[in-house]
Structure 1
């Protein structure tokens, strides 16, 4: 069985993103191979799979069990096509319900202020600030290019045209959008560009130019786990724990806009959803009924164009943008 799974990991995921392949291998190494990997493929029966799935259901979330079961089914299907087994016993089994997964959370306004303040001096501070105050998806932020950023426009803006997905396209056509940038983001991106220019000189020939706004020290694409670790350093520093997920910056953006009386239709446009229904379904815990744009609301909440960013501080208290 382990050989069939390994064959699928090697040949069945071609063209998939690095994140997808890494996740699939993790599931195989931690949940499939150690528990049913020792069965010979031809000896594996549906009841073996059922018992294994029931064991997973005792500790794992339903969504995770579905992913693991799907991986096994696809691996056996590849073996079936290669005539290594007569039928796919995994496809005969129902996926059981597992544990309740942790729902996505959003930052409260006080927590968001604390996070913005904690970004000062942190390597991933500008990434977190940009994500929180624009609501772009993590995969969109990782593939954001300087060529799509206009810091001198009226208003300053960013064009979301690419994403760290297979093919490089955004999630949907509606996801291709232009967003006005809050003043705080503009200030932070200006400082970030200066730091990145210095980093290029330091790296010398090791620098690989991809025009990425957020990049590793050699100019290459950030991996999701590196971003996650950077975020959790900041949230821990902010005093709200280190169990937050990067996508929850986007959830927080939606929550803050909703509390700022921005309509769900406007929020759907800003986050790149095809319809307001998607926004209400995915972010139903963050959306509240409203009567009545992105950058204006964020400026009103976190500061205005006269501020100089989260690094600005005086003797009387916290950074002026975060009061």
Structure 2
């Protein structure tokens, strides 16, 4: 029998069990055996029996006996450190566990963003790696590769997801150290700079939406462009908050997972331009037809903008649809839904609407926030929201 120190791996004695095929060894306080199996060798550590009398063992495989001995020694070190020895537990398993259990209390938009980043930029590249075998060198190489495609912000978010996933695995005794904390995140590509449409481009977009019934989110685009609401506010908008007779819509700062977002502080009521009201009326008729067609499959969330079965939209669906619309309008596909809000601010500012009024319309707590966030769109100015937008569009149509 061969006795090994669990820490050093040095043999204390060198006696092999009779029979030649199976070798018994002692590692620390554990008895193990190594035997031929398939094209290599298998090592098994005996952990006794559970409450039902079933034998408990930890197994490791390798091409050579020496490789198996090393892996058994690592398994014993994990056992002595209280680490669960699930050798098959992968990076993908850790990330999925984190996405399922580690984001409690976070806004749905944050959860959707994390899931999308993980599934597109993390799991496909290193998800199959066993968590215990993940090294800092491995992560350095992976991050350098990702840096060639991702923006610096996205790269840091992807690294953050991995680091938090491993931290959660540590807390559950699945791994001893967090190698993601040992690496430096490189600089990525420059992010997509926000831009705003000119008045001419905005009119072109509205005209394209008027002449086609192809797009389900036409009213979404019209409302975002002409009222300046945030894309997450539009996705969360419900019909009880829309008054088409009064031409108003009530929106809330954001949708949070905890607490009541429908407070006086988070709520603002906006007067709607005529084109937005017309678009919402047409959208309401279309949605009623979809609801009738869906029948029992319809899930009623009272959402103004939703999928064909009534369930909530996610940001990626909106983005894909919006890029189809801008392409049809001849503006190209290099636009994001949030730039509709930038365009709203830019058009109002260019037509003498004061920054104080714009700040109220977009739901900022102060003009400083408006001037900081929309510093490229804000120009010196002087009048008000829905009325101003109606006048601007009317003036533009006369000159066309």
With structure 1 as the length reference, what TM-score do the two structures score? 0.83
Q: CA RMSD in A?
A: 2.8
- Work out whether 1:7 is the aligned partner of 2:93: no
361, 377, 389: which one aligns with 1:298: 389
171, 174, 182: which one aligns with 1:84: 174
Q: Deviations over 1:122-142 (max 9, x none)?
A: 322111111100011111111
Distance 2:271 2:259 in 1: 23
Q: Deviations over 1:220-257 (max 9, x none)?
A: 32232332232222211110112211111111111111
Residue 39 (structure 1) shift: 4.6
Matched position secondary structure for 1:303: helix
Number of positions where the alignment pairs a residue of Structure 1 with one of Structure 2: 307
- Work out whether 1:240 is the aligned partner of 2:331: yes
Q: Residues 43, 125 of structure 1: CA spacing in aligned structure 2 closer, same or farther, 3 A cutoff?
A: closer
133, 139, 142: which one aligns with 2:226: 133
Distance 1:39 1:199 in 2: 45
Preserved contact between residue 144 and residue 162 of structure 1 (Cα < 8 Å): no
- Work out whether 1:109 is the aligned partner of 2:190: no
Q: Residues 98, 302 of structure 1: CA spacing in aligned structure 2 closer, same or farther, 3 A cutoff?
A: same
Matches within 5 A, 1:185-196: 185-196=276-287
Q: Deviations over 1:53-87 (max 9, x none)?
A: 23322332101111111011101111121223333
Preserved contact between residue 357 and residue 383 of structure 2 (Cα < 8 Å): no
Matched position secondary structure for 1:158: strand
Q: List runs of 5+ in structure 2 lacking aligned partners.
A: 1-89
Distance 2:249 2:183 in 1: 47
Distance 1:93 1:25 in 2: 22
Report which stretch shifted further, 168-177 or 261-270: 168-177
Q: Deviations over 1:242-281 (max 9, x none)?
A: 2211111111111111111122222121111222222222
Q: Residues 127, 147 of structure 1: CA spacing in aligned structure 2 closer, same or farther, 3 A cutoff?
A: same
**Structure (1 or 2) with the larger CA radius of gyration:** 2
Distance 1:241 1:169 in 2: 39
Residue 177 (structure 1) shift: 0.6
Preserved contact between residue 242 and residue 248 of structure 2 (Cα < 8 Å): yes
Q: Residues 38, 198 of structure 1: CA spacing in aligned structure 2 closer, same or farther, 3 A cutoff?
A: closer
Distance 2:260 2:319 in 1: 22
Residue 17 (structure 1) shift: 5.3
Cross-structure match for 2:257: 166
Preserved contact between residue 59 and residue 98 of structure 1 (Cα < 8 Å): yes
Structure ranking higher on relative contact order (CA contacts 8 Å, 6+ apart): 1
Q: Deviations over 1:21-65 (max 9, x none)?
A: 444344334433444445543443434333332332233210111
Cross-structure match for 1:227: 318
Distance 1:322 1:13 in 2: 53
Distance 1:135 1:243 in 2: 19
Q: Residues 97, 174 of structure 1: CA spacing in aligned structure 2 closer, same or farther, 3 A cutoff?
A: farther
Cross-structure match for 1:50: 140
Matched position secondary structure for 1:220: coil
Matches within 5 A, 1:1-323: 1-2=90-91, 3-16=93-106, 19-37=109-127, 39-120=129-210, 121=213, 122-153=215-246, 156-161=247-252, 163-167=254-258, 174-290=265-381, 293-303=384-394, 323=400
Distance 2:398 2:178 in 1: 59
Q: Which has more helix, going by share of residues?
A: 1
With structure 2 as the length reference, what TM-score do the two structures score? 0.69
Distance 1:68 1:163 in 2: 23
Q: Which has more strand, going by share of residues?
A: 2
